[in-house]
Structure 1
Amino acid sequence: MTTLMLTEDETMLRDAARGFLDGAAPVRNLRENRDQGRAFDTGLWKEMAQMGWAGVLVSEDNGGSDMGHRAAGILAEEMGQTLVASPFISSAVIAATALRNAASDRLAGIADGSLLYALAVDEGAKHGPAKTAMSAEKSGNAFRLSGRKTFVADGASADRVLVLARTAGSAGETEGLTLFDLDASRAGISRSAKNTVDSRDFAQIDFDGVEATGDDVVGEVDGGHAAIARALNAGQAALSAELTGLSAGAFAMTAGYLKERRQFDRIIGTFQALQHRAAHMWSEIEVTASAIANAGRVLDEKPDESELAVSIAKARATKTAKLVVSEGVQMHGGIGMTDEFDMGFYMKRARVGAEWLGDYGYHAARVARARGF
C-alpha cells in the first residue's frame, strides 16, 4: 500500500527548503525578475543547485542525490508557495527523467545546475504530444528538422533542447515520433521569447533544416513517444505540486488578510460566510495535496503505471488553484486586482500553470480513459 506520509529525509528536505526560500526567494523576487527583464535569478538557481535540488532525480553516479519524484514534488510545492522562477521543472525534473536511462554524460551538468534544458513538444494552443507534425526527414545518416514549437518553458534561456519530431506517420499518431537532444545554439535554431502573464520564460522555437545525427536521438528512432512519456508524467506531477504550493501560498495570504481587515467595525474574518469560503479552500488544498503525494509515490514505485495518478493530481491542482486565487482576489477586494499587490501574481501563475503540460480537460480525459469511459 502506498504511504502518503513523509519520510524523515523528506521532512528534513521540506523544512530546509521552506527555511531557505522564505528568506532567499520571497514573492517580490518575481516582481524584480519581471522589472529587470530576466527569466530567473541565476544566483538563486546556483544556490539551489548547490543544495542538491537540481540533482534530485539524477543518480549519485552522475553527481545527483537521487531522492525521487516525491522529493521533487516537495521542492516544487515549496517553490510554488513563493512563486519561485527557476528552470527546476524543465531541467531537474523533465530532462533528468528523459535522460536518466540514456547513458547521457549531460546528467552531471543537470545535477550541478550548469546545464539548462527546455522541452519543445507542443505546436498548437493546447498540449498534445501525439499531434506533433514537425518533420525530421532522413538525410543520409542524419536527420533534418523543420518546424515550429510553441509555449516552450525556459526556451529562451536553455542551453539544450529536447525536441519531439516526426520521423514517420502523421500528426495524431503516437508511432513515428523521435526525441532529439540538441544544442540550443545549433545552426538553424532560432528562439523568440514570448510574453506571458506570469512573467516567466516561455519561447517559440523555430527549426529550419536543423541537422541531427543518431547521437542526438534519445531512446529509439520512431520510439520518441515512449522516450518522453515518463518524463512528461514527471513534469506534470512536479507542476501539480507547484500549483498546490501556489494555492497554499495564496490561501495563507488571504487568511492573513481576513484576520486584519476591518469592515463595519468588525474583522471581516468573523463573518460566517467568509469563514465557510475559507474552510472550503483549505479543504480542497488538503485533498489535492494528498493527490500530489500519491502521484509522487507512484512515480517512484510504479512509474509505468503512473499516468492515472499524475492526471488526477494535475486536474485537481489546476481546479484548486483556480478556486483559491479567484477567491483570494475577491476577498482582497479592489487591492486584489492591482499590480502593486502580490495576489495578482498568484492568479497569473495559476493561469499559465493550468495550460502548461495539459489543461484540466486534457487530464480529465486521460483519467476517463484510464477508468474505461
Structure 2
Amino acid sequence: MWRHEDELQSMLRDSVDRYAVANDTLVRFRDKRGSADGFDTQSWRDMAALGWTGALLPEEAGGAGLDFLPVLSLAEAIGRNLIPEPFVASAIIAATVLGASNAPAARKLARALVAGEDVIALADQEDIAAIEPAAPHTALQPLDSGGFALTGSKIFVPAWTSETRLLVSATLEGDPVVIAVDARAPGVAAETHRMTDGTICAHLTFDKAALDSDALILRGDDATDAIRLALARGTIALAAQLEGAARRLLSMTGNYLNQRAQFEKPLASFQSVRHGLVSQHLQIELAGASWRSAAASLQQGLTGEAAMRISAAKARCADAAQGMSKAAIHYHGAFGFTEEADIGLYANAILRWASWLGNADAHRGRALNLSREQQPTCN
C-alpha cells in the first residue's frame, strides 16, 4: 500500500469512525440539513471534547498542537462519515489564523474554539471568482473615541449562524489586517443562503460596525501570511474530505450491486460493471495520493511548488468525487434519484465541497499557471 499512517493518524481516524457509529451520522446529516444552522451545536461541543476542534491550536490555548498531516486524517474520516459540523471552516481555516496571533482576543477565541463554545469563520472572500487571497476592499477606520469602524462586504462566509464569531480581513491605514467581529454586532448585516449540503453561508455587509481596539488580532505581513496558509490548509482538507466521501460512495455502491441480481447473478459480477467500479477506484486512489503529496509539500513552506500541488489535488479530488457521485447514482438506477437514498446525501455534500475555495476548473488553471512559473527559462 502507498498509504502509510502512523499510530496517531490511525487513532484519529478510528475516533471519527467510532463517533459516527455511536451518533448515526447519516441520519443526523439528513435531519440537520434543513435546520436553521445546518449542523448541531451540541455535536460541535462533543467534537471539541474529543479534541478535534483544537487539534491545530497550540497547547497554551488549550489545543493539542498537532502537525497538519495528522489532522488531515480527521478531515478524510469526517468526509467519509458525512459529519455536517464545520470542521474545515472552523477547526482548520479559522484555527490557523488564530494560531498565528498572540493577541488577547485571538487567545480568547482560540480557547472558545477548543471548548466547542463558539464556531469561528474566516470572512475573506470579496470577489465571486477569486481563489487567491487578494488585498481586501473592506476598510477599518480608527475612531477618535478609540476603537475602529468596519465598512465593506464579504461573500460566501461559511459555517454561518447568528452566533458565529468572525475573523474579517480588511485594510487599516494601507496595511492588511485581521479583526475579530461578533456577528451580532450593530452594523453587521447578513444575507443567508443554504448550500447543497444543507449548511448555511452568508453574504455580509459591514456598515461602520463599531469595534473595540483590542479586536485587532493580526496586521501587515502576519495577516497576509496567516490567511494564505489558512486557505491552503483548508483547500487540502477539503480535498481529503472529498476523497473520503468518494471512497464511502464506492463502498456503498459495491455493496448495493452485490445485493441486486439480474439473470440470477449479482449485478457486481458483470464485467462491464466491475470495470466501471475499478476505474472509479483508480481515480479515488490517485486523488488520495494527490492531497497527501500536496500536504507533504506544504510542510516545507507555502512555495509556488506547494501551491501548484494544492491546486492539482483539489482539482483531482473534486473530479474523482463528482465522478463517483454520478457513477453511484447510475449504478443504483431509479433508486439513486430518490430522497431515501443515502448516496444523494453524499452527492450533495460533494457538490458543496468541490466548489468551495475554488472548483476543479479554476484550480486546474491555477496549477497550470504555477507549473509554468516553476519551469526554468532558456536564454
| TM-score relative to the length of structure 1 | 0.90
Are 1:113 and 2:111 an aligned pair?
A: no
List per-residue Cα deviations over 1:169-228 (Å, max 9, x = no partner): 8xxxxxx54322212222111223312222112222221111345533332248643331
Gaps of 5+ in 1: 170-175
The corresponding residue for 1:63 is 62
The corresponding residue for 1:239 is 238
Q: Distance in 2 between matches of 1:158 and 1:7?
A: 37
- Distance apart, 1:142 and its partner CA: 4.7
The corresponding residue for 1:312 is 312
Contact 2:176–2:219 (CA under 8 A) maintained in structure 1: no
Question: Would the alpha carbon gap of residues 22 and 294 (structure 1) be closer, same or farther in structure 2, given more than 3 Å must change?
Answer: farther
Contact 1:116–1:157 (CA under 8 A) maintained in structure 2: no
Q: Distance in 2 between matches of 1:260 and 1:237?
A: 35
78-87 or 39-48: bigger deviation = 39-48
List per-residue Cα deviations over 1:106-152 (Å, max 9, x = no partner): 22221121121012122343344327433334545654322322221
Q: Distance in 2 between matches of 1:156 and 1:333?
A: 37
Q: Distance in 2 between matches of 1:274 and 1:157?
A: 47
Q: Distance in 1 between matches of 2:308 and 2:17?
A: 29
AA partner of residue 115 (structure 1): D
- Matched positions, count: 364
The corresponding residue for 1:173 is none
Q: The residue matched to 1:340 in structure 2 has which SS?
A: coil
- Distance apart, 1:165 and its partner CA: 2.6
The corresponding residue for 1:251 is 250
Are 1:125 and 2:124 an aligned pair?
A: no
Q: Distance in 2 between matches of 1:92 and 1:229?
A: 16
- Distance apart, 1:355 and its partner CA: 1.4
Contact 1:137–1:143 (CA under 8 A) maintained in structure 2: yes
| TM-score relative to the length of structure 2 | 0.88
Q: The residue matched to 1:10 in structure 2 has which SS?
A: helix
Question: Would the alpha carbon gap of residues 6 and 117 (structure 1) be closer, same or farther in structure 2, given more than 3 Å must change?
Answer: same
Match of 1:145 among 140, 150, 162: 150
Question: Would the alpha carbon gap of residues 255 and 146 (structure 1) be closer, same or farther in structure 2, given more than 3 Å must change?
Answer: same
The corresponding residue for 1:366 is 366
The corresponding residue for 2:289 is 290
List per-residue Cα deviations over 1:333-353 (Å, max 9, x = no partner): 111111121111111111111
Identity %: 29
Contact 1:34–1:199 (CA under 8 A) maintained in structure 2: yes
The corresponding residue for 1:303 is 301
Question: Would the alpha carbon gap of residues 362 and 165 (structure 1) be closer, same or farther in structure 2, given more than 3 Å must change?
Answer: farther
Q: The residue matched to 1:85 in structure 2 has which SS?
A: coil
133-142 or 202-211: bigger deviation = 133-142
Q: The residue matched to 1:317 in structure 2 has which SS?
A: helix
Q: Distance in 2 between matches of 1:366 and 1:4?
A: 27
Q: Distance in 1 between matches of 2:78 and 2:120?
A: 19
Q: Distance in 2 between matches of 1:202 and 1:56?
A: 24
AA partner of residue 109 (structure 1): A
Are 1:136 and 2:140 an aligned pair?
A: yes
Q: CA RMSD in A?
A: 2.3
Q: Distance in 2 between matches of 1:309 and 1:213?
A: 40
105-114 or 125-134: bigger deviation = 125-134
Gaps of 5+ in 2: 374-379
- Distance apart, 1:36 and its partner CA: 4.2
126-135 or 258-267: bigger deviation = 126-135
Q: Distance in 1 between matches of 2:251 and 2:302?
A: 36
Contact 1:143–1:211 (CA under 8 A) maintained in structure 2: yes
Question: Would the alpha carbon gap of residues 282 and 190 (structure 1) be closer, same or farther in structure 2, given more than 3 Å must change?
Answer: same
